[in-house]
Structures are given as structure tokens and as C-alpha cells.
Structure 1
Amino acid sequence: MRGFSMVAEFRNVRRLDIRGKIEGLYSKTRYGAYLVFKLGKNIRGLGSANGIIKFVKYDEDVDAEKRATIVYLQPNKDGNGQTAVWRLDGWMEIELGKFYYDLRDNGPVEARLLGNNFNTKVDIIVAGIELRMRGDTREFMRY
């Protein structure tokens, strides 16, 4: 896998809180943040989670959580929220959120997966969080 030197394996967890923070982004640029992962053998009861984008200097956790995107790490039967997709390298990814980084932000951005309480304990292997430059500004959160 290109870009990640290590992975984290979580076994028998009921709740996830995975965060990645980055500074030095290009100003006036749109980004998407993606969690890159694999599911283990034990995934029964894996429910929804929240994808959260936070401007560290300006947002409190509570405020960022109110803007969260509902994400599903496995196919979702009811069709609500973001669903994980397979990548060509054999890993899966889910978009945690998107944002517009402006000059006035000038601070770190945090991307986060906050897993809701799962019905049973699950296994997940996390490669990391990727930030990618994106397209049209109209679909992005601005600050």
C-alpha cells in the first residue's frame, strides 16, 4: 500500500474513535478525507459511525460532531449515509467528509471516525486517513 508505513489492527472493539490531524494544506483548496481500512472476520453487528471534519483552531468537538456525516463501513441495506467502497489495491475506503481550506483557516484540520456503539465486538484493520484534493466548491463545507 502506497503512503502508509504501518497499519493498526483493532480486535473485539465496540466503539472506535480514530483521528488524523494535518497542517500545511494548500489554501483555497477543496479536500476530501477518506478512512482506508479492511474488515476482519468478526463484523456482525457493525453499525453506523460518524465521519467528522474539524478545524482545530476554530471548532469544538461538540460543534464538529453536530455536522458529522453518517458512514457505514460495510454495505448498508437502508441506503442512508456514505457506504464504504473497494479500492483497486484490495483495501476499502469511506469518505469521512469534505471541506474547503481557505487562507483564514491557517491551522490544522482533523478528520475523525467516531464509531457508534456496535451491537457486538468487531475487528477492523486501519491503514490511515487520506486527504485528497477535490472538485467543485459548492459541495463543500466552508469556514
Structure 2
Amino acid sequence: MDFIRLLPEGCVSDILSFTSPKDAAISSAISRGFNSAAESDLLWEKFLPEDYEDISSRYVSQRICSSKKELYFSLCDSPVLMDGGRLSFSLDKKTGKKCFMISARELVISWGVDTPWYWEWTSHPDSRFPEVAHLHTVCWLDIRGTIGTQMLSKRTKYVVYLVFKLAEEHHGLEIAYAYVRFVNRVSDEEADEGASTLSLVGENVRRPYVKCPQKRVDGWMEIELGNFINDIGDDEDVQARLMEIKHLHGKGGLIVQGIEFRPE
């Protein structure tokens, strides 16, 4: 006998809410008693972030779904723009943790404002944002993105990535440096000492311990800038920085979509 079917749907939903979204999605294959509960709005609402209503009020356009389960998976598969298109929001499919990408327009880019001979702001057919930043040439490469920890999921380790492409004619991007810091705890100078070395090109890099980019499923490249643990989500700022200001040779051909904060 399938004893699960004898339990009230609310009770079964509570049981499933202590598992993961992935487990809940496949629960109907285990027991028919799980089936209706696994499809219920009561369950999938528990997998959405506690502050989801506040987040959704900041959407550029509202997302209409027929159920909370459909809404959950749509947020996993298709990031939604918010805050006037300066930020995107999505969910990690396995855990339901919050993911955010800061658009290039919202980043602090040295020489990136009103200097089209250095950085050009343009649309890109593969970008989720209206604009990307296209580097023509600079000697001083410095890009920073900051987010408040209260926006992120609590008790979660986050990894921060630069999301980018390379123009066909790129140069000077073989070596750069990056770090992630809590703004009010760690100074720029302290963070510089622990900065990691990376290569945006990732080809023929002969230096040890150099991070290289990986291709994403959306066709962009990403490279890890650093990571941190968001404990209880205190009202703090976390900043990620990519830079190459040690060697003032020319650099060009970098196309920046944004900086993504994603649960590990």
C-alpha cells in the first residue's frame, strides 16, 4: 500500500520542503502520494526566496506563470531583468539559492564613461542586458562590481565571475589580477596582497596557478574573480575587482556583459 497517499497534502508538502527542489521535482516517480504535493503551489512557494515579492516588484516586466513550480523553473532557466535593466536575477536549479548578475553599465570601469575611444557602449545580440562594454584600448584596466550581502542567500558560499567575450582582434589580456573583498572589513591594499592571477585569453599560459576562463552554456565566457561566504546576510557590501595596472601596455578586445554572483 502507498501509505504516503493517506497523508494530508499539506503534510506531504511539508515533508518535501525539507528536501531539495531537485528531489521534489522527481518525487512523483517514487510515490503517487507525492505527486499532487510535488505539483502544489504550497510546496514550490517554500522553495522561492523569502523576499521574492520584493524582488519581483523590481522586475522590468513581470513574469506570468500558471503555477509556482513553473515560476521556479522559469527563474532557473531564464534570468529576469530588474532595477531598470541594470541587474539580472535567477535561481540555482538544485538549491533555489539566489543568483545575480550586475550589468556592465552598473560596474565601475576606469575610463569607461564618455570616452568612446577607450570603451564603447553597444548592444550585443547574445547579452541579457541592453548594453555591453567593448574595450577598444586602454593601458589601465580596472573593473569593479559591488553588491549588498542582504540581497544574497544566507549561509551560502558565493563564487564571483566576470562574464565576457573576446573580440576577434584582442590583445594584452594574457595576464590580469582579481580579488573579492568585504568593503568595510578589507582594504584595497590588503586585498591586493591576496589577489589571484588569471588570464582572460587562457591560451598558451605558461605561468603556474593562473586561472583560465570557461565557456558557459549561454555562449559567453566566465572567469572566477574570487569567492566569499555570506553568513547571515548582514548589511554589508562585497566588491569584486578585475585589474591589470602593473604593466601599462595596451589592452583591447574585451567585451564585458557583467559580473555574476552565483552560489557554489
| TM-score greater than 0.5 by the shorter chain | yes
Q: Secondary structure at the match of 2:184?
A: coil
Deviates more, 1:63-72 or 1:117-126: 117-126
8 Å CA contact 2:162–2:225 kept in 1: the answer is yes
One-letter code of the match for 2:155?
A: K
Give the CA deviation at 1:118: 5.9
- 1:95 matched to 2:95? The reply is no
Superposition deviation, residue 104 in structure 1 = 7.8
SS in 2 for 1:64: helix
TM superposition shift of 1:36: 0.3
Matched, 1:122 2:252: yes
Q: Which structure shows the bigger proportion of residues in strand conformation?
A: 1
Identity score, percent:
38
- Determine if contact 2:172/2:250 at 8 Å carries over to the other structure: yes
List alignment gaps of at least 5 residues for structure 2: 1-77, 80-87, 89-127
Matched-pair contact (CA < 8 Å) for 1:43–1:123: yes
Deviates more, 1:68-77 or 1:96-105: 96-105
Aligned counterpart in structure 2 of residue 75 of structure 1, from 195, 202, 207: 202
Aligned to 1:21: 146
SS of residue matched to 2:162: strand
Q: Is the 1:46–1:118 Cα contact (8 Å) retained in structure 2?
A: no
SS of equivalent to 2:170:
coil
**Pairing partner for 2:192 from 65, 70, 73:** 65
Task: Report which stretch shifted further, 113-122 or 18-27.
Answer: 113-122
Deviations along 1:79-138, one digit per CA (max 9) or x if unpaired, are 53110111122211100011112238540101111124364332211000001111xxxx
| Equivalent pairs, count | 134
**What is the match of residue 262 of structure 2?**
132
CA RMSD of aligned residues (A): 2.1
Moved more, 30-39 or 97-106: 97-106
Q: How does 1:5-16 map to 2 (within 5 A)?
A: 5=129, 6-16=131-141
Can you give the 5+ residue segments of structure 1 that lack an aligned partner in the other structure?
135-143
Q: Which residue of 1 aligns with 2:44?
A: none
User: CA shift at 1:52, angstroms?
Assistant: 0.9
Q: For residues 82 and 118 of structure 1, do their structure 2 counterparts lie closer, same or farther at Cα, with a shift above 3 Å needed?
A: farther
TM-score, length basis structure 1: 0.82
* Mapped pair 1:34 → 2:164: no
SS at match of 1:47: coil
Provide the rounded CA distance (Å) in 1 between the counterparts of 2:222 and 2:192: 20
> For the Cα contact (< 8 Å) 2:153–2:233, is it kept in 1?
no
Q: TM-score, normalised by structure 2?
A: 0.47
Cross-structure match for 1:56: 183
SS at match of 1:62: helix
What is the DSSP-based 3-state SS (H/G/I as helix, E as strand, rest coil) of the residue aligned with 2:241? strand
- Which residue is equivalent to 2:214? 85
